[in-house]
Amino acid sequence: MKIKKIWWTDAIFIIMTLASFTCVLIPAGELNPKLAGIPYSVWVGLVYCILYVLLAYIASNLQEEGPDDH
Amino acid sequence: MITSFIIAGSIYLTILIYLAQRSRVKEKTTSNYLMGGGNLGLVLGLFTTAATIFSAFTVIGMPDFFRTHGIGAWIFLAVADAMMVYVLIRVGVVVRRKARSSDYKGMAGLLMNAYGYKFAGIVAFIGVVTFLIPYISVQIRGVSIFLNAAFPDALPVWGWGTLIVAIMIIYSEVGGLRAIMYNDTLQGIILFIVIWVIGWNCMREFGSVSAMFAKVEATKAALLSVPGPNGLFTTQFFIISAISIVLLPFTQPQISTRVIIMKSTSALRKMAIGLGIFATLVILPTMFMGMYGAVLYPDSTVQEFIGHVLLYDQAPAIAALGLIGLIAAAISTSDSQIFALGTELRSLLTTDDKKALFITRIFIFVVGIVALLFSILSSEHLVLLARTSFAGTALLGPLILVGILSKKKPGLLIPICTLVALVVFVLSNAGVLPERYGPIEIEICLFAFLLLATGIELLRLNAQKEVS
């Protein structure tokens, strides 16, 4: 069951990564919409960082455990 | 400031010597000297890996990159590092298990066994030597020039470079990888504290983060979006950087060794998560430093800007700490890279352990000297050279991943194509071959070429499986 579940995190990772090379993360010449005065690509980039680390955490919990896991 | 620097420098050196002495290896073997005993815990693993990744290019290069090219630098490094964490969790765990199930001595040796012939290991070795030595050199040079500018009467540039290389070689020789990892931990902590203290001071100059960005927008709005004022941050730039950085844990031996010698898969997973948090937190203050420079020192040279941001605009004690942080950042990466090159050579040697280790130690010394000599000749474009190093070693990605993850022994196709790609990339960087073909940059062409070769090889292996 865990093996099946982990493909969802992989799928989210791939979608997020492909989207990161588009205007979702890097719109050319665009500063807006700002968040608390922070330019768009900076705060969305920070959200990306948090989501990737969160996704990695979820994936690490869903991974199969090996003989030397603990 | 010189008094503060001497005091801080003396404390720093004393701790380095103490840690080297504490991890001293009397009877040197590949296992205890080159692999540090192979049982790396979470805290040591996290800080040594972080300090190895975040080098002088983080302290000098990234603030200047933000100042010159704008906030695209944040996507280039912070977002790509976070991507790397996910791949490290998903692929690193498998790579670690496979490597530990064999007698791991280095990536080149592992590939030699996985492919069943020495050529695959030699290609990997050529790749890391070619792309790590210039990277080591440029860090030594960057820090040496800076120290010379800070203390013009103390030592010439080559004198600072020699001192840095001597420190690295001595403690590597005394304690091996364990000494390097202890020192990396110290240096990682110093780097983190220094970069935050200075970054925070830079941000406070404006009053708040939003006021800082407002000021930058009024000065040069193009810095706050991509592709930046010089048009550097194109989609292709981000794709090449992301591929190169995501593959770092497997293609740069100083990182892959740490991944493999983590004491358990669980410790590796936690280390990877910690690394993602550390990366984001370390890069954030370099953005503050860069934005500070964009407003106050937009037209200064790199040395002038870094001189102001790290030294002259800071209180003497913080400036001294800044210098120590800079030295620590350069040393913690360079020592690991020099040592990793030695480990790679050792993994290719099939002679008895004592003799192989002797040759390896001589090689580490020679690499240190070569890096020093290169540092006298190399350029100062830290970030772009670091990125070239990342991209160059990323060309080894398919060779390494197919070799390790494939259940069957792959053929010659991928090693030959990798060697061709390495030669083409070097010639392109040397200006002999073009850097782009039409609108496509050379790195993308080479990644596509290797991906095609990998696809063909996997189909061939699969067909073999069906026949058998």
Of the candidates B331, B341, B339, the residue with the CA atom closest to the CA atom of residue B131: B341
Cβ <8 Å between A26 and B238: yes
Instruction: Indicate whether A68 belongs to any domain.
Output: no
Whether the CB-CB separation of B461 and B410 falls below 8 Å is answered with: yes
pLDDT of residue B466: 61
| pLDDT of res. A67 | 56
A-contacting residues in B 161-220 (Cβ below 8 Å): 208-211, 213-214, 217
What backbone phi and psi angles, to 5 degrees, belong to B262?
Answer: -60, 140
3-state secondary structure of B40: strand
**Number of domains within chain A:** 1
What is the pLDDT averaged over residues B179-183? Answer: 83
Q: Is residue A69 part of a domain?
A: no
- Identity of the residue in A10, A37, A39 whose CB atom sits nearest the CB atom of B225: A39
B72-100 pLDDT per residue, tens: 999 989 999 999 999 999 988 888 888 88
- Percent of chain B with pLDDT strictly greater than 90: 43
Rounded Cα distance, A63 and B21, in Å: 39
Q: CA A22, A25, A26, A30 torsion: positive or negative? A: positive
Q: How far is B277 from chain A (nearest CA, A)?
A: 7
A56 within a domain of the structure (yes/no): yes
Distance CA B343, CA B27 (A): 17
CA B224 to chain centre: 27
User: Total structural domains in chain B?
Assistant: 1
Q: Give me the pLDDT at residue B438, please.
A: 87
Distances from the Cα of B285 to the Cαs of A25, B91, B282, in angstroms? Answer: 21, 30, 6
Q: Which of B13-22, B49-58, B97-106, B392-401 has the highest mean pLDDT?
A: B392-401
A-B CB pairs within 8 A amount to: 130
Inform me whether the pLDDT recorded for B448 exceeds 90: yes
Q: pLDDT band at A4, cuts 50/70/90?
A: low
Higher pLDDT, B3 or B123: B123
| Within a domain: A70 | no
Range of the domain at B68: 2-382
Q: What share of chain A is helix, strand, coil (3-state, %, to 5)?
A: 60, 5, 35
Task: Give the pLDDT confidence score for residue B212 in this predicted structure.
Answer: 96
Q: Give the CATH number, domain containing residue B61.
A: 1.20.1730.10
B51 vs A5, B46, B47, B137, B462, CA distance in Å? 34, 9, 6, 17, 40
A15 in any annotated domain: yes
B435 found inside a domain = no
- The mean-pLDDT minimum among B20-24, B157-161, B246-250, B408-412 falls in B20-24
List the single residue in B with minimal CA-CA distance to A6: B90
Q: Which of A19-23, B36-40, B233-237 has the lowest mean pLDDT?
A: B36-40
Residue B429 domain-assigned (yes or no): no
Residue B155 lies in a domain: yes
Measured between alpha carbons, how far apart are the two ends of chain B, in Å? 73
- The answer to the question of residue B161 being in a domain is yes
Band the pLDDT of B339: cuts 50, 70, 90.
Answer: confident
- How far, in Å, CA of B183 to CA of B186, rounded? 5
pLDDT at residue B382, as a whole number: 56
Instruction: Give pLDDT, residue B118.
Output: 92
Q: Is residue B404 part of a domain?
A: no
Q: Does residue A44 lie within any of the structural domains?
A: yes
Return the amino acid letter for B426. V
C-alpha to C-alpha distance for B399 and B108, rounded to whole angstroms: 10
pLDDT of B320 > 80? The answer is yes
Compute the mean pLDDT over every residue in chain B, rounded to the nearest whole number: 87
The residue-averaged pLDDT of B191-203 equals 91
Q: With CB atoms and an 8 Å threshold, state whether A25 touches B75.
A: yes
Considering only CB atoms, B221 lies closest to which of A28, A31, A50, namely: A31
pLDDT at B57 over 80: no
pLDDT at B234 over 90: yes
Please confirm whether the linkage preceding B227 is cis (ω < 30° from 0): yes
- Tell me if A39 is assigned to some domain: yes
pLDDT greater than 70 at residue B468? no
pLDDT tens per residue across span B164-173: 888 888 877 7
Residue span of the structural domain in which A42 resides: 2-62
| Banded pLDDT at A1 (limits 50, 70, 90) | very low
Any domain includes B149: yes
Question: Is-contact B383 B61, C-beta < 8 A?
Answer: yes
Q: Is residue A18 part of a domain?
A: yes
Query: Which residues touch B159 (CB under 8 Å, ≥6 apart)?
Result: none
Contact of B411 with B436, CB cutoff 8 Å: no
The predicted complex's ipTM stands at 0.92
Residue B29 lies in a domain: yes
pLDDT value at position B170? 84
How far apart are the CA of A1 and the nearest CA of chain B, in angstroms? 17
Compute the nearest-CA separation of B81 from chain A (Å): 8
pLDDT surpasses 90 at A65: no
The string of pLDDT tens digits covering residues B303-314 is: 889 889 988 898
- Backbone dihedral region for residue A61 (phi beyond 0: left; psi -120 to 50: alpha; all else: beta): alpha
d(CA B322, CA B325): 5
Taking contacts as CB-CB distances below 8 angstroms, the residues of chain A near B239 are: 21
Determine the average pLDDT of the residues in B185-199. 87
Distance (Å) of CA B354 to CA B21, B29, B36: 22, 7, 16
Nearest residue to B52 (alpha-carbon basis) of B386, B394, B426: B386
Higher pLDDT, B158 or B285: B285
Q: Please indicate if any CB of chain A lies within 8 Å of the CB of B82.
A: yes
Count other C-beta atoms under 10 Å from residue B437's C-beta.
Answer: 12
- Does the pLDDT at position B362 exceed 70? yes
Chain A environment of B270 (Cβ under 8 Å): 60
Q: What is the mean pLDDT of residues B347-355?
A: 86
Say yes or no for a CB contact (<8 Å) between A26 and B224: no
* pLDDT at residue number A9: 92
Residue B236 structure tokens: 């292709």
**Domain membership flag for residue B456:** no
Q: Which residue has the higher pLDDT, A5 or B297?
A: B297
Distance CA B180, CA B15 (A): 12
Low-confidence winner among B51-60, B439-448, B454-463 (lowest mean pLDDT) = B51-60
pLDDT tens column, B1-36 = 677 778 888 888 888 788 777 777 667 777 777 777
Q: How far is CA B186 from the centre of its chain?
A: 17
Q: With contacts defined as CB-CB under 8 Å, which chain A residues touch B221?
A: 31
For B203-206, the CB contacts below 8 A with 24+ separation are B203/B285, B203/B288, B203/B291, B203/B292, B205/B292, B205/B296, B206/B292, B206/B295
